[in-house]
A and B are shown apart, each in its own frame.
Chain A
Amino acid sequence: EAGVVQSPRYKIIEKKQPVAFWCNPISGHNTLYWYLQNLGQGPELLIRYENEEAVDDSQLPKDRFSAERLKGVDSTLKIQPAELGDSAVYLCASSLFQGSNEQFFGPGTRLTVL
């Protein structure tokens, strides 16, 4: 069974530029999460989807961040415009259903904003 797929794995951009990250969760997983992980910190939830519905986006900085999960499968997270402080690893995770024990994380996208 394939795991959570993310692309790109690495991205370097200049500040004020837009950037997008893509995630393909494990097949059949209804719940999808986007996390932000800074160096030396634990993952912090940005947004959680149940199928195509964003059920928790309270931590998503909506002035510059947006996300979508069309058809309840793949998801895209976008930052526009990027700021220096956005440099971090962006992790996507999925779980079978809301309340499922285990979250399966993808390899992440390491973003560097210059």
Chain B
Amino acid sequence: GQQVMQIPQYQHVQEGEDFTTYCNSSTTLSNIQWYKQRPGGHPVFLIQLVKSGEVKKQKRLTFQFGEAKKNSSLHITATQTTDVGTYFCAGPYQGGSEKLVFGKGTKLTVNP
């Protein structure tokens, strides 16, 4: 079946360091979404990427969608303690349906 894989599973950084998480799908995706879940909280939508090679920025966060639309990355510049949480990517089931398939997430901890 379709798989959405994220690496690394865990990342611990010192405050001020950069952080990157990678997402890979076994199928070509029509779009990819990113969510953030704070400890004890619920997933919160961050962004959706649609176009091949698309790059979007939200302050210190940079999101990329691969040229082949099978992979994506989230990069955080100069992490802050408020960035702590688990970052999930999610893609449509079988590439284009309304059902989202979530990766297992990358758990980020930041040491102040």
Q: Which residues of A contact B (CB under 8 A)?
A: 31, 40-45, 48, 55-56, 91, 93, 98-99, 101-108
Contact = CB atoms under 8 A, between A and B. Distances in A.
Contact of A105 (B33, B43, B99, B105): B43
Task: Report the 6 A-B pairs with minimum CB-CB distance, sorted nearest first.
Answer: A42-B102, A105-B42, A102-B45, A101-B48, A105-B43, A42-B88
Contacts of A93: 43
Given A45-B99, A56-B99, A101 B33 contact: yes
A32 B33 CA distance: 18
Contacts of B44: 105
Interface in B1-60: 4, 33, 41-45, 48
B85 interface: no
10 contacts: A40-B104, A40-B105, A42-B103, A42-B104, A45-B99, A55-B98, A91-B42, A93-B43, A102-B45, A107-B41
Interface residues of B, number: 17
A98 B45 contact: no
Contacts of A103: 43, 45, 100
Interface in B80-112: 88, 90, 98-100, 102-105
A43 B98 contact: no
Contacts of A104: 45
Contact of B42 (A98, A102, A108): A108
Contacts of B4: 42
Given A101-B33, A101-B48, A43 B43 contact: yes
B47 to A, nearest CB: 9
Contacts of A42: 4, 88, 90, 102-105
A43 to B, nearest CB: 5
